[in-house]
Amino acid sequence: MLLRRSGEISEESYNLSGVLGDDDVGVEDEGLLVAIAEAVFAGDPIDLAHIRAEAVRSIGAEKFVDAIGIASGFNGITKVANATGIPLDTRTEEVTASLRQQIGIDDYSESHKSSLYG
């Protein structure tokens, strides 16, 4: 959600439906960032080592550390929220309704992820 708001503030345009994999979102190095996020989610140490080496060569160690930290944080925060049944607060639910519909995030439940990734 922050990408949408920060894009408005900086007057940048992002294609948020691109997170579904059909189009580009429009952020710098997004292919590599997606690969980092996917490697974190999959949790395979060999894949993580390969993406780390590629990322450090491509975007540098500092940007890689930022990216891996964000991907890890979101992965963990989502799992904790889903596991404890924390609902989306009313204000966030209202403000993000059209965005959530646009990218289909409401259809991406923990049970759906479990069926895909075990």
Contacts 24+ apart (CB under 8 A), 55-61: 58/29, 58/32, 59/29, 59/32
> Would you kindly state where each structural domain of the chain is located, as residue ranges?
2-108
Q: Summarize pLDDT for 91-104 with one digit per residue, the tens.
A: 888 888 888 888 77
Measured CA to CA, the distance from residue 85 to residue 33 in angstroms comes to: 28
- Residue 59's pLDDT is 96
Q: Summarize pLDDT for 24-69 with one digit per residue, the tens.
A: 878 889 889 989 988 988 889 999 999 999 999 999 999 999 999 9
Helix/strand/coil (H, E, C) string of 69-101? HHHHHHHHHHHHHHHHCCCCCHHHHHHCHHHHH
Rounded average pLDDT over 73-90: 77
Measured CA to CA, the distance from residue 17 to residue 29 in angstroms comes to: 17
Q: What global pTM score does this model have?
A: 0.62
Contact 4, 14 (CB under 8 A): yes
Q: Which two tokens stand for residue 74?
A: 């979101």
